[in-house]
Amino acid sequence: MEQMKEGGCPCCSGRTKRRTDAEYKSLMNRLSRIEGQIRGIKGLLEKEAYCTDIIVQVAAANAALNSFNKVLLENHIKTCVKDDIQAGGDEKVDELLELLKKLMK
């Protein structure tokens, strides 16, 4: 069985999510690429790059963050929500509905 990662931060709900090594590494790799994109945008600004060149890079970083969010949401539905439903609960479904409301503002 793969080792699981556990995370949580004081700024969040205090709940944690155990992830497989593969899921953890994939998400961290995505965040590292996004971090690199943000550093690149900062570098463009420092080099006084033309506005539209920076805007295009910001759009790419936004797309990468949206993609990260989609993967995270898919994993959440396939694990947390599915497990809660199979256990006869509906708390995670309600939580998901509230999350979707926030995301669709």
Average pLDDT in the chain: 89
Give the pLDDT score at 4: 44
User: What are the φ/ψ torsions at residue 6 (nearest 5 degrees)?
Assistant: -125, 135
Is residue 21 helix, strand or coil?
Answer: helix
Give the pLDDT score at 105: 86
Per-residue pLDDT averaged across 37-65, rounded? 98
Q: Which residues pair with 6 in a beta bridge?
A: 18
DSSP letter (8 states) at residue 79:
I
Is residue 6 helix, strand or coil?
Answer: strand
Locate tokens 């199979």: which residue? 86
In this prediction the pTM is 0.79
Whether the Cβ atoms of residue 85 and residue 93 lie closer than 8 Å to each other: yes
In a domain, 9, yes or no: no
Locate tokens 């080792």: which residue? 3
In a domain, 13, yes or no: no
Q: Which residues pair with 19 in a beta bridge?
A: 5
- Whole domain around residue 68: which residue ranges? 18-103
DSSP letter (8 states) at residue 28:
H
In a domain, 1, yes or no: no
pLDDT above 70 for 12: no
Q: How many domains does the chain have?
A: 1
Q: Token pair for residue 1?
A: 């069985």
Lowest-pLDDT range, 10-14, 47-51, 91-95? 10-14
> CATH number, domain at 54?
1.20.58.1000
Q: Which of 77, 75, 69 is nearest to 102 (CA)?
A: 69
